[in-house]
Structure 1
Amino acid sequence: MPYPELAERLAAVRAAIDGAIARGGHQQRVAVVAVTKTHGPDAVRAAWAAGLHDVGENRVQEALQKMAEVDVPLRWHLIGHLQRNKVKQLDGFALVHSMDSARLADALHEEGVRRQRPIDVLLQVNVSGETSKGGYGPDDVRAEAERLTTLPGVVVRGVMTMAPFDAEERVLRATFAGAREARTALLEAGHPAAELSMGMSGDYEVGVEEGATMVRLGTLLFGARG
Structure 2
Amino acid sequence: MSDHVATMVAEVRERIAAARARGGHGQDVTLIAVTKTHGPDAVMAAANAGVHDVGENKVQEAESKMAQVTVPVRWHLIGHLQRNKAKNAAKFDLVHSLDSERLAVALDDAAGEAQRVLEVLVQVNVSGESTKSGFALHDLATVAARLHACSNLRVRGVMTMAPFDAEESVLRTVFRGARDARAQLQAAGFGADWLSMGMSGDYEVAVEEGATHVRLGTVLFGSRT
Give the TM interval when normalised to the shorter protein: over 0.9
Q: CA deviation at 1:112?
A: 1.9
Pairing of 1:63-82 with structure 2 (within 5 A): 63-82=62-81
C-alpha deviations, 1:3-31, integer Å up to 9, x for none? 43111111111111111111101000000
1:219 counterpart letter in structure 2: T
Q: Which moved more, 1:23-32 or 1:185-194?
A: 185-194
C-alpha deviations, 1:124-171, integer Å up to 9, x for none? 000000000000011101221122112102111100000000000110
The answer for the alignment partner of 1:130 in structure 2 is: 129
Counterpart Cα distance in 2 of 1:15 and 1:38: 26
Alignment check: 8 A CA contact 1:37 1:57 kept: yes
The answer for the alignment partner of 1:101 in structure 2 is: 100
The answer for the alignment partner of 1:4 in structure 2 is: 3
Alignment check: 8 A CA contact 1:36 1:218 kept: yes
The answer for the alignment partner of 1:25 in structure 2 is: 24
Counterpart Cα distance in 1 of 2:88 and 2:224: 26
Q: CA deviation at 1:107?
A: 0.8
Q: Which moved more, 1:4-13 or 1:75-84?
A: 4-13
The runs of 5 or more residues in structure 2 that have no matched partner are none
The answer for the alignment partner of 2:218 in structure 1 is: 219
TM-score (norm 2): 0.98
Alignment check: 8 A CA contact 2:30 2:214 kept: yes
2:164 counterpart letter in structure 1: F
Percent identical pairs in the alignment equals: 62
Counterpart Cα distance in 1 of 2:140 and 2:47: 35
Post-superposition, which runs of at least 4 consecutive aligned residues in structure 1 deviate over 6 A?
Answer: none
The answer for the alignment partner of 1:183 in structure 2 is: 182
Q: CA deviation at 1:186?
A: 0.8
Q: CA deviation at 1:115?
A: 2.3
Q: Secondary structure at the match of 1:157?
A: strand
TM-score (norm 1): 0.97
Counterpart Cα distance in 2 of 1:62 and 1:168: 32
Alignment check: 8 A CA contact 2:90 2:114 kept: no
The runs of 5 or more residues in structure 1 that have no matched partner are none
Counterpart Cα distance in 2 of 1:94 and 1:151: 17
* Matched length: 225
C-alpha deviations, 1:71-119, integer Å up to 9, x for none? 1110000000001111111233100000001110111111122222121
1:65 counterpart letter in structure 2: S
1:85 counterpart letter in structure 2: N
Q: Which moved more, 1:193-202 or 1:102-111?
A: 102-111
RMSD: 1.0
Counterpart Cα distance in 2 of 1:171 and 1:91: 34
